[in-house]
Amino acid sequence: MKNFFIAEVSSNHNSDLDRSKRFIEESAKAGFDAVKFQLFKIDHLFSPEILKKSKKHRDRKQWELPENFLPHLSECAKSNGIEFSCTPFYLEAVEILEEYVSFYKIASYELLWSDLLAKCSHTGKKVILSTGMATIEEISAAVKVLEDSKCSAIELLHCTSAYPTPPNEANLKAINTLSKCFSYPIGWSDHTVSFEVIERAVNKWDAQTIEMHVDLDDFIGHEAKVGHCWSFSNSKKLISKIREGILLDGSGIKAPVAAEEADRNWRADPYDGLRPLRKIRENY
């Protein structure tokens, strides 16, 4: 099965439309299947008490994605042959995004918000849910909301919500746990920026969707300095390596492959144990 790679732009667009389009173009060149932004407004994201007391949180106003970018970004993604998505962080955002996104992605921090989950489900689009910080009980409750809301398709991403995540805290075995608990595709949302972690998530634990935070190679995005973002040059190397490995895996069907066909008739004949088969000897 082909893995599905999502380039997570977050707020590294710096509220610049040309820069945002470059993310889409570079995502396509690197081999990503989808590019994702985030739609939030800080006064719908943080409580008034926090905004009053915290300049750090008030300063995130400059991280917001302008709504008027959406039609341009959606069209840019289409013209570059990749899917466009965006995480809604307030209820009205679901409606605003509906005509532009091919699927909704719910962040780990919003996993407990049933109203948001239900509203995304009611659009009839696929919902991908990150599960960082959550217990199995919390994830089960969120999945039930999606199911009860008749969500058309559900995917879960195992995630460690630390920015960056130390590789030894990736807890990749939890992908297997989620696979046993839920009958939905399970993937990995990466904050480690580690080739080894993602390769193991795919090759050992069968993670199907992989989400990677990215920044342009200038690394001047609002979130890039935190240390959890991939460069496009490295993400391209990783995606190519994983897809080449999948080609090596083949179909899994135990049957002769094309390269073997010519030698099949040169096996020992069961009649006398000599090569090639008798039907070949007669006309050799």
- How would you write the pLDDT of the chain (284 residues) with one tens digit per residue? 589 999 999 999 999 999 999 999 999 999 999 999 999 999 999 999 999 999 999 999 999 999 999 999 999 999 999 999 999 999 999 999 999 999 999 999 999 999 999 999 999 999 999 999 999 999 999 999 999 999 999 999 999 999 999 999 999 999 999 999 999 999 999 999 999 999 999 999 999 999 999 999 889 999 988 999 999 999 999 999 999 988 888 889 999 999 999 999 999 999 999 999 999 998 88
Predicted pLDDT of residue 1: 59
> pTM here?
0.92
Q: Is 37 strand, coil or helix?
A: strand
CA distance 177 to 158: 10
- Give the chain's count of helices (H) and strands (E): 13, 9
What torsion do the CA atoms of 62, 66, 72, 76 make, to the nearest 10 degrees? 40
Predicted pLDDT of residue 247: 84
Q: Is 96 strand, coil or helix?
A: helix
CATH number of 4-250: 3.20.20.70
Residue ranges covered by each domain of the chain: 4-250, 255-284
Predicted pLDDT of residue 60: 94
Predicted pLDDT of residue 282: 85
- Closest by alpha carbon to 187, among 195, 78, 197, 116? 197
Predicted pLDDT of residue 41: 96
